[in-house]
Amino acid sequence: MPPTEQWPDLLLDRPEFQYPDYLNVAVELTDRIVEHGMGDRIALIGNGRQRTYKELSDWSNRIARALVEDYGVVPGARVLIRSGNNPAFVAAWLGATKAGAVVVNTMPMLRAVELAKVVDTAEIALALCDSRIADELVACAKESRFLKKVVCFDGTSSHDAELDRVALGKPVRFNAVKTGRDDVALLGFTSGTTGEAKATMHFHRDLLIIADGYAREVLNVGPDDVVVGSPPLAFTFGLGGLAIFPLRFGAAAALLENASPPNLIELIQTHKATICFTAPTAYRVMLAAANDGADLSSLRIAVSAGETLPAPIFDEWTRKVGKPILDGIGATEMLHIFISNRLGDAAAGATGRPVTGYGAKVVDDNMNEAPDGTPGRLAVRGPTGCRYLNGSRQTQYVRDGWNLTGDAFVRDAEGRFHFASRTDDIILSAGYNIAGPEVEAALLLHADVAECCVIGVPDVERGQIVEAHVVLRPGVAADAECVRRLQDHVKSTIAPFKYPRSIRFHDSLPKTATGKVQRFKLKEGH
């Protein structure tokens, strides 16, 4: 934990953010809902089954017992979970949280080398993994000095894996660990622009704050809502939108392991979903489907985040679907959305105004507030904020009590914030944050590559795509086969979504007198 003088100012005085000294967020999202008489309501839909709140409470209690009694989990132990979006992932996360663990959720697309960075940073000894995708995690464990055991669970509805068999033999009651409201419950990993895994620490109270703030105020989530979306539960955007928000208010979450736009549309139509979380890229595809007859009428709100929502998509969605589409911006460091458009107060091309409880301003490099209409760095503070685990970047992200998100924004005269660019040149592609240096490192592992530089370039469908500028070793042909070879190599080395969709070959890269690649020259012409 960084020293308290390096923390951002935390604005916790609002009545909705007053919590008891001892609080376990997993209990609040399951057992407490059952106590309120909603045990028979549907909590989770996925992989062909529907789970009630009573079933989810019992399931997560059994997992918690198994983790404590059979796998030695103690309060504060870090437990990694690796799975696609399915009910078993949610149950494992809740069970580990009830057991007092600090949970680290990871995406199924990550390879062993990427998982190793997470394991080493958080010093993780136990991992829970969907049995269908265990290979990369097992490979990571074989080389790791920290990861001692990988326990598999069944991500389908069959309950046929080790953790399931152990848990099914346990009683359905469990006295959850008496965690403090400001005990760490979750480590959210972000690579930023460096490619180095950085963990952001979030307390039990933080996970409730994003529901009791944004989800209640902006979305008005209630028991009759059915929530769908594409972001991985391993992202805080996905964990909030597809697990914390619906479970906090007795709603249902319909989960998809492959949340492609066509699959999302089918899910919306089948379960009459009312709230959808995805990126602008997917909304563009969904609009085209709506033109061909897809029925999206059950939606009352579409939430767009991950990259800025282009004004034409906002206008077309509002006109053709006839339901609000709300742009918003969040950050792993802040946990979830802190600036958003609202029902009745949404404008094309604007990200919106601060969520109640948060303050935002546009500043220059000296933290002086910029006049309206002038681009500058976005500074935010509120009830959540950045705390890096062993973070050398803490003082770069937090200055004078404000969180500097790495985004350039403009505030207009009406107080709305408009996205301008990323100040750190991170590549935002179809809602994913991609660090250029990480892709460069993967390319440089290939024998054909002598030098490379990776940038983000504009793309109509994805917002940006990853473009690699490559100098090949002597004798290697710069042809289409080489492009495919390098793309396949990146896909097999790191998460496939990070691969360069465009590769350009050069005899040399433009550099300064000190040898630094001049990225701006590579971006010229785009």
pLDDT tens digit sequence for 259-313: 989 999 999 999 999 999 998 888 988 998 988 889 999 999 999 988 788 888 8
Asked if the model's pLDDT at residue 113 lies above 60, the reply is: yes
pLDDT tens digit sequence for 64-108: 999 999 999 999 999 999 999 999 999 999 999 999 999 999 999
Which residues, other chains included, contact 274 with Cβ-Cβ below 8 Å and sequence gap of 6+? 224, 225, 226, 227, 298, 299, 300, 301
Q: How is residue 379 written in tokens?
A: 């500074």
Asked if the model's pLDDT at residue 41 lies above 60, the reply is: yes
Asked if the model's pLDDT at residue 349 lies above 60, the reply is: yes
The pairing of strands 226-229 and 252-254 is parallel
Q: Give the pLDDT confidence score for residue 192 in this predicted structure.
A: 53
Q: How confident is residue 524, by pLDDT bands cut at 50, 70 and 90?
A: confident
Q: How confident is residue 193, by pLDDT bands cut at 50, 70 and 90?
A: very low
Percent of the chain exceeding pLDDT 90 equals 79
Element at 18 (helix H, strand E): none
- How would DSSP label each residue in 166-193? HHHTS-S-------BTTSEEEEEEE-TT
- Helix 135-143 with 112-122: angle, nearest 10 deg: 50
Asked if the model's pLDDT at residue 123 lies above 60, the reply is: yes
* Most confident listed range (107-111, 207-211, 282-286, 318-322): 207-211
Q: What is the mean pLDDT of residues 212-217?
A: 97
Percent of the chain exceeding pLDDT 70 equals 97
Q: How confident is residue 177, by pLDDT bands cut at 50, 70 and 90?
A: very high
Torsional sign, CA 181, 182, 187, 191: positive
The pairing of strands 325-330 and 301-304 is parallel
Which residues, other chains included, contact 358 with Cβ-Cβ below 8 Å and sequence gap of 6+? 11, 213, 338, 339, 380, 381, 382, 383
C-alpha 10 chain-centroid distance: 22
CB 443 within 8 A of CB 452: yes
Q: What is the DSSP letter of 4?
A: G
pLDDT tens digit sequence for 375-399: 889 999 999 999 999 877 899 999 9
pLDDT tens digit sequence for 389-430: 987 789 999 999 999 998 889 999 999 999 877 776 678 888
Q: What is the CB-side half-sphere exposure of residue 115 using CA atoms within 13 A?
A: 36
Which residues, other chains included, contact 187 with Cβ-Cβ below 8 Å and sequence gap of 6+? 78, 102, 103, 104, 122, 199, 200, 201, 202, 389
Q: What is the mean pLDDT of residues 22-47?
A: 97
Q: How is residue 63 written in tokens?
A: 């997992």
